[in-house]
Amino acid sequence: MTAERQPTTPKAGGTGKPKGKKAAKAAKREPAGGGKAGGPRESPGGASGAGGNEGETRTKPDGFHTRQTHGRRGLRRFTLVVRPPLPGAGVKPTAPSGFTVHGRRPNLAPESAYEKQLVLASQDNENLADLLWADARFAVDEAAEHALFFSMMMPPELAAEQKRQAQAFHERYTRLWQHLDARGPPAESELRSYVRSIQEETQPFLDFTDELHHGQLTGKLQSLASPMFFDHTRKETDRALVRLEQIAGGQAAPDRDEAIRFGAAVMEEHGRMLAQLLDPDEMEVIEKALSESKRFRAYLPEASTPGLDEVTSAAEGILDFKTDLARKVESARVRSALNPILADHMRREALKLIDELQRCKD
């Protein structure tokens, strides 16, 4: 019985064409993946490094670099498009007086290109302009990354327009973050207008997030993100904006019970989201993620008010788990569909929660 053969990629040496010509053609094909029109950027710091065939890295003009992996016979097996470090990632920020840099390792430079260090007002700094600047930077950076995650989870075959919009939001908030970062804390007289301008900037993205959430819930959108992912990010941004209003209104420390409830709800969802993004074979890590989630679930019922120390201890526990996971995902010691940028993003959210809880202490 002879099955009808479909055309397949010919093996090396099996086409009758001279090998030399084929190799020259393959070399000309680089760079692959043609960057999008109108958005060329220089790759920060260049991406050269590994030479030769295996793991060869070439700089691309649109801000990405392409790593080609070759099989034993020199055929290209796959092309991995690697994002360059995001603004603020992989570099140790300089903290102005009254601020503290929070990294994975105290007082040390980032351990990888994915680690973003957080600049927060020092614990004894209750200056409203300083607090507002730190929280505004955090909120806008979060929005920029949320937009990036949406784009990553939006296959062009299924949601090309939504992907384009998500990319545009990512670029818009990256520019805004850079502007806020360079400008430094606002003047005491402009706290409210400062918050208003951030609210106006982020509202279109919140509306967009609602649309995506509704689309994914109703099946009109077929992205790779769950409805909960959209809803979760929306709640994070909403809450960040509320906190900005509180600071501008003179409230230096968060409301204790609200901070506990919000933090517990976010961490509870993070545990489940991480479990869902891990490779199903990573059963031990999945169970750990779910047990972290379960720990926070106990703090959610309105009837009970968990102690600040207890929740802080739980937050430190999930921070350790997320830091370890981020390292292992980056180095492929844990298999997953979790992008290292998202892993570090969730790590920073645990860090920010701990900072807030410490501010709630009398």
Quickly count helices (H) and strands (E) in the chain.
Answer: 9, 5
Min dist. Cβ of residue 153 to Fe ion (A): 13
CA 277 to chain centroid, in Å, comes to 14
**Rounded Cα–Cα distance for residues 292 and 1 (Å):** 56
Q: Which two tokens stand for residue 287?
A: 């169970």
Min dist. Cβ of residue 297 to Fe ion (A): 19
Short-list 196, 146, 194, 144, CA closest to 171: 144
Closer to Fe ion by CB, 171 or 231: give it: 231
Min dist. Cβ of residue 57 to Fe ion (A): 30
275: which residues sit within 8 A by CB, 6+ positions away? 286, 289, 290, 293
For the purposes of burial, counting CB atoms within 10 Å of the CB of 362, is it exposed (0-12), middle (13-18) or buried (19 or more)?
A: exposed
Closer to Fe ion by CB, 62 or 236: give it: 236
Helix (H, G, I), strand (E, B) or coil at 215: helix
What residue is closest to Fe ion based on CB? 236
Min dist. Cβ of residue 148 to Fe ion (A): 11
Min dist. Cβ of residue 212 to Fe ion (A): 15
Closer to Fe ion by CB, 236 or 355: give it: 236
CA 145 to chain centroid, in Å, comes to 5
Q: Which two tokens stand for residue 267?
A: 């961490």
Min dist. Cβ of residue 342 to Fe ion (A): 8
Closer to Fe ion by CB, 60 or 213: give it: 213
Closer to Fe ion by CB, 330 or 349: give it: 349
Closer to Fe ion by CB, 185 or 254: give it: 254
Min dist. Cβ of residue 345 to Fe ion (A): 6
Closer to Fe ion by CB, 60 or 270: give it: 270
Q: Which two tokens stand for residue 179?
A: 């502007």
Give contact residues for Fe ion (rule: CB under 5 A).
236
Closer to Fe ion by CB, 130 or 236: give it: 236
Min dist. Cβ of residue 190 to Fe ion (A): 27
Min dist. Cβ of residue 93 to Fe ion (A): 20
CA 198 to chain centroid, in Å, comes to 20
211: which residues sit within 8 A by CB, 6+ positions away? none
**DSSP letters along 133-202, please?**
HHHHHHHHHHHHHHHHHHHHTS-HHHHHHHHHHHHHHHHHHHHHHHHHHHH-SPPGGGHHHHHHHHHHHH
Residue 180: count other Cβ atoms within 10 Å of its Cβ. Answer: 20
Closer to Fe ion by CB, 43 or 321: give it: 321
